[in-house]
Amino acid sequence: MLGLATLLLVANIAHLAYVIGLGHGLSSSNDTFTISGGSNFLILLRIGITVGLLVCAAGLALRKSPGVFASMVGIIWVFLAYAWWRRKTLTLLRSAEVDDYSHLSDLPLAAGLWGATWWDLLVLAAAVILFIWQGIALIRVVRLPDGRLGSGGFK
Protein backbone atom coordinates (compact mmCIF):
# COMPACT_ATOMS: atom_id res chain seq x y z
CA MET A 1 0.00 0.00 0.00
CA LEU A 2 3.00 2.28 0.48
CA GLY A 3 3.64 1.91 -3.25
CA LEU A 4 0.05 2.90 -4.08
CA ALA A 5 0.18 5.90 -1.74
CA THR A 6 3.54 7.03 -3.14
CA LEU A 7 2.46 6.56 -6.76
CA LEU A 8 -0.74 8.46 -6.09
CA LEU A 9 1.17 11.28 -4.39
CA VAL A 10 3.70 11.70 -7.20
CA ALA A 11 1.03 11.53 -9.91
CA ASN A 12 -1.15 14.01 -8.00
CA ILE A 13 1.75 16.46 -7.71
CA ALA A 14 2.29 16.23 -11.48
CA HIS A 15 -1.42 16.74 -12.12
CA LEU A 16 -1.49 19.67 -9.69
CA ALA A 17 1.38 21.34 -11.54
CA TYR A 18 -0.51 20.88 -14.79
CA VAL A 19 -3.75 22.25 -13.33
CA ILE A 20 -2.00 25.28 -11.87
CA GLY A 21 -0.37 26.04 -15.23
CA LEU A 22 -3.61 25.52 -17.12
CA GLY A 23 -5.63 27.49 -14.58
CA HIS A 24 -3.21 30.38 -14.73
CA GLY A 25 -3.52 30.49 -18.50
CA LEU A 26 -7.31 30.26 -18.41
CA SER A 27 -7.70 32.89 -15.72
CA SER A 28 -6.94 35.55 -18.28
CA SER A 29 -10.17 34.61 -20.06
CA ASN A 30 -13.13 36.84 -19.18
CA ASP A 31 -15.63 33.94 -19.26
CA THR A 32 -13.61 31.80 -16.82
CA PHE A 33 -13.20 34.73 -14.45
CA THR A 34 -16.93 35.40 -14.48
CA ILE A 35 -17.85 31.76 -13.89
CA SER A 36 -15.35 31.07 -11.12
CA GLY A 37 -15.44 34.46 -9.49
CA GLY A 38 -11.70 34.75 -10.01
CA SER A 39 -11.00 32.52 -7.02
CA ASN A 40 -8.26 29.96 -6.71
CA PHE A 41 -10.51 27.58 -4.80
CA LEU A 42 -9.83 24.53 -6.96
CA ILE A 43 -6.08 25.03 -6.87
CA LEU A 44 -6.06 25.47 -3.09
CA LEU A 45 -8.31 22.45 -2.73
CA ARG A 46 -6.01 20.28 -4.83
CA ILE A 47 -3.01 21.48 -2.85
CA GLY A 48 -4.83 20.45 0.34
CA ILE A 49 -5.58 17.02 -1.12
CA THR A 50 -1.92 16.65 -2.10
CA VAL A 51 -0.82 17.54 1.45
CA GLY A 52 -3.17 14.87 2.81
CA LEU A 53 -1.69 12.32 0.41
CA LEU A 54 1.82 13.36 1.46
CA VAL A 55 0.98 12.81 5.14
CA CYS A 56 -0.55 9.43 4.26
CA ALA A 57 2.50 8.26 2.28
CA ALA A 58 4.92 9.53 4.93
CA GLY A 59 2.96 7.76 7.65
CA LEU A 60 2.98 4.50 5.72
CA ALA A 61 6.72 4.87 5.15
CA LEU A 62 7.38 5.06 8.91
CA ARG A 63 5.99 1.52 9.45
CA LYS A 64 5.39 2.19 13.13
CA SER A 65 2.25 2.92 15.11
CA PRO A 66 2.64 6.74 14.92
CA GLY A 67 2.94 6.35 11.17
CA VAL A 68 -0.30 4.38 10.99
CA PHE A 69 -2.12 7.14 12.81
CA ALA A 70 -0.46 9.85 10.69
CA SER A 71 -1.48 7.96 7.58
CA MET A 72 -5.09 7.75 8.78
CA VAL A 73 -5.06 11.49 9.53
CA GLY A 74 -3.80 12.16 5.99
CA ILE A 75 -6.57 10.07 4.42
CA ILE A 76 -9.22 11.68 6.63
CA TRP A 77 -7.85 15.08 5.56
CA VAL A 78 -8.39 14.05 1.91
CA PHE A 79 -11.99 13.04 2.69
CA LEU A 80 -12.62 16.35 4.46
CA ALA A 81 -11.27 18.21 1.42
CA TYR A 82 -13.67 16.34 -0.85
CA ALA A 83 -16.55 17.04 1.55
CA TRP A 84 -15.62 20.73 1.50
CA TRP A 85 -15.55 20.59 -2.30
CA ARG A 86 -19.05 19.09 -2.36
CA ARG A 87 -20.31 21.80 0.01
CA LYS A 88 -18.79 24.50 -2.17
CA THR A 89 -20.46 22.91 -5.22
CA LEU A 90 -23.85 23.03 -3.52
CA THR A 91 -23.22 26.66 -2.58
CA LEU A 92 -22.46 27.44 -6.22
CA LEU A 93 -25.73 25.82 -7.28
CA ARG A 94 -27.67 27.80 -4.68
CA SER A 95 -26.06 31.08 -5.68
CA ALA A 96 -26.89 30.39 -9.34
CA GLU A 97 -30.45 29.65 -8.20
CA VAL A 98 -30.68 26.36 -10.10
CA ASP A 99 -31.51 22.83 -8.96
CA ASP A 100 -28.98 20.93 -11.03
CA TYR A 101 -26.09 21.37 -13.41
CA SER A 102 -28.15 21.01 -16.58
CA HIS A 103 -28.63 24.79 -16.45
CA LEU A 104 -24.89 25.43 -16.05
CA SER A 105 -23.48 23.44 -18.95
CA ASP A 106 -20.39 25.64 -19.23
CA LEU A 107 -18.98 24.43 -15.91
CA PRO A 108 -16.98 21.20 -15.73
CA LEU A 109 -18.58 18.63 -13.46
CA ALA A 110 -17.76 15.08 -12.40
CA ALA A 111 -19.67 13.14 -9.74
CA GLY A 112 -21.39 16.26 -8.47
CA LEU A 113 -18.17 18.20 -7.87
CA TRP A 114 -17.73 21.52 -9.64
CA GLY A 115 -14.49 21.60 -11.63
CA ALA A 116 -13.70 17.93 -10.97
CA THR A 117 -12.08 15.71 -13.57
CA TRP A 118 -11.66 11.96 -13.91
CA TRP A 119 -8.35 12.34 -12.06
CA ASP A 120 -10.06 13.78 -8.97
CA LEU A 121 -12.43 10.81 -8.93
CA LEU A 122 -9.50 8.40 -9.29
CA VAL A 123 -7.75 10.04 -6.32
CA LEU A 124 -10.92 9.75 -4.25
CA ALA A 125 -11.35 6.07 -5.17
CA ALA A 126 -7.71 5.33 -4.29
CA ALA A 127 -8.13 7.17 -0.98
CA VAL A 128 -11.15 4.99 -0.19
CA ILE A 129 -9.10 1.86 -0.98
CA LEU A 130 -6.24 3.07 1.24
CA PHE A 131 -8.65 3.89 4.06
CA ILE A 132 -10.30 0.46 3.92
CA TRP A 133 -6.92 -1.27 3.77
CA GLN A 134 -5.63 0.73 6.74
CA GLY A 135 -8.78 -0.01 8.73
CA ILE A 136 -8.43 -3.74 8.10
CA ALA A 137 -4.72 -3.64 8.96
CA LEU A 138 -5.44 -1.70 12.15
CA ILE A 139 -8.09 -4.20 13.23
CA ARG A 140 -5.66 -7.07 12.59
CA VAL A 141 -3.00 -5.36 14.68
CA VAL A 142 -5.22 -4.74 17.69
CA ARG A 143 -7.02 -8.11 17.61
CA LEU A 144 -5.87 -10.60 20.23
CA PRO A 145 -5.27 -14.27 19.26
CA ASP A 146 -8.60 -15.29 20.84
CA GLY A 147 -10.54 -12.83 18.64
CA ARG A 148 -11.00 -10.06 21.24
CA LEU A 149 -9.73 -6.57 20.60
CA GLY A 150 -6.73 -5.43 22.63
CA SER A 151 -4.19 -2.63 22.49
CA GLY A 152 -2.32 -4.33 19.64
CA GLY A 153 1.00 -3.12 21.00
CA PHE A 154 0.04 0.54 20.63
CA LYS A 155 0.97 2.60 23.61
Rounded-to-integer distance, Cα 143 and Cα 20, Å: 45
Which domain covers residue 75, as residue numbers?
Answer: 2-142
Tens-place pLDDT, residues 42-84 = 778 888 898 998 998 888 888 777 888 888 899 999 999 999 9
**Confidence category of residue 106, pLDDT binned at 50, 70, 90:** low
Domain count, the chain: 1
Rounded-to-integer distance, Cα 119 and Cα 43, Å: 14
Asked, for residue 151, whether it belongs to a domain, the answer is no
Which has the closest alpha carbon to 17: 47, 48, 49? 47
Asked, for residue 150, whether it belongs to a domain, the answer is no
Q: Supply the pLDDT for residue 63.
A: 77
Rounded-to-integer distance, Cα 35 and Cα 105, Å: 11
Asked, for residue 62, whether it belongs to a domain, the answer is yes
Share of the chain above pLDDT 70, in %: 68
Asked, for residue 41, whether it belongs to a domain, the answer is yes
Pick 83 or 152 by higher pLDDT. 83
| Beta-bridge mates of residue 103 | none
Q: Left (φ > 0), alpha (ψ -120 to 50) or beta: where does 95 sit?
A: alpha
Contact 118, 110 (CB under 8 A): yes
